[in-house]
Amino acid sequence: MELDQVRKVFPRRDPQTRRQSELVAVDDVSFDIARGEIFGLLGPNGAGKTTTIKIISTLLRPTSGTVRVASIDVTKRPTEALRHLGTVLTGERSVYWKLTGRENLEYFAALYGIPARLARQRIDSLLERFSLGARADERVERYSTGMRQRICLAKALLAEPQILILDEPTAGLDPQAARNMRELIQEIKGEGRTVLLTTHYMEEADQLCDRVAIIDRGKIIVLDSPGRLKGLLKDRQVINLELGNWEQPWQAELVAVGASSVDVHFDDAARLYRLSLHLNGKLSMGETVTRLIDLGAQLQNFTLSSPSLEDVFIHLTGKSLRE
């Protein structure tokens, strides 16, 4: 798969002044994905990930630039390109909930033009592989979230595509279901298929992806293997803290004394503030903890770690992946 200077511009009108303007959603994005590679496309909300995926899967036409799937230009020959592409898009019902799992696969097999005997063999094999055989004749509306994701993945694999697009495939899954999905993705890679993956879980991208591209404001700002990206922060330490309270002015105070970046979020389940601070040598862990206590922070716990892919992301974009 190849993207060459892909750009997507949406016209928009100011509701008050009624003046026309443009929103650049994807700004000259270029990358290629090798056969058998898991490639991660990461970015905060509104960065351009979804628009890029929709262009690749022929749901949107690019304003300019070229996308090739299996050497086929998706703009000029979309139907042919789609024969090589399977997609599982988040937030969209790509299967029919009033049909059973088996009926869904039978319907899409017919839509793809798969001969009946071959379709039955593939459907039985996919249902067994994804542990859906026992529930195959139940309506999808009765499935758990994990089962729905697996039937969507089975549907995407029916035509045995060369390339698979998985848009946040573990979103909303419990830990065991998410682990099972990651194992399935690794199996799919082992079959020689190419996977384009988006995720809001950086540890998932670190575990699965051969390379990742980080996109922000429509532009690719970095592209490399997870290991090399983490090497960008090799001279830094990260301190992770749990606090019972947090005051916004403390962030500026920590930056002023030497923390290179401060990421804060409130954990509703634990009822704690979780902080991730990058220390660049100007401030030690002990000095950081002492400074927070002097400011009035209710320290619950802290650990020191090496930079993660999430830390690289925050360093490059200035925000967490979920923002």
Strands (DSSP E) contained in the chain are 2-13, 20-32, 38-42, 64-69, 72-73, 85-88, 163-167, 194-198, 211-216, 219-224, 237-243, 259-267, 272-279, 299-305
In a domain, 288, yes or no: yes
The predicted pLDDT at position 315 comes to 77
The predicted pLDDT at position 243 comes to 94
Q: Which of 195, 230, 265 is the last residue of a domain?
A: 230
Six token digits for residue 267: 């954990």
Residue 126 belongs to domain spanning: 2-230
CATH number at residue 248: 3.30.70.260
Given a cut of 90, whether residue 286 has pLDDT beyond it is: no
The strand pair at 2-13 and 72-73 is best described as unpaired
Tens of pLDDT, residue by residue over 28-65, are 999 999 999 999 999 888 899 999 999 999 999 999 99
The residue type found at 46 is: G
Same domain, 164 and 198: yes
Six token digits for residue 79: 């139907």
The predicted pLDDT at position 283 comes to 65
Average pLDDT over residues 266-279: 88
> Based on the structure, what is the number of domains in the chain?
2
CATH number at residue 189: 3.40.50.300
Question: Strand 64-69's sheet: what is its strand order?
Answer: 20-32, 2-13, 64-69, 72-73
Of 196, 205, 207, give the one whose Cα is nearest residue 86. Answer: 196
Average pLDDT over residues 255-263: 78
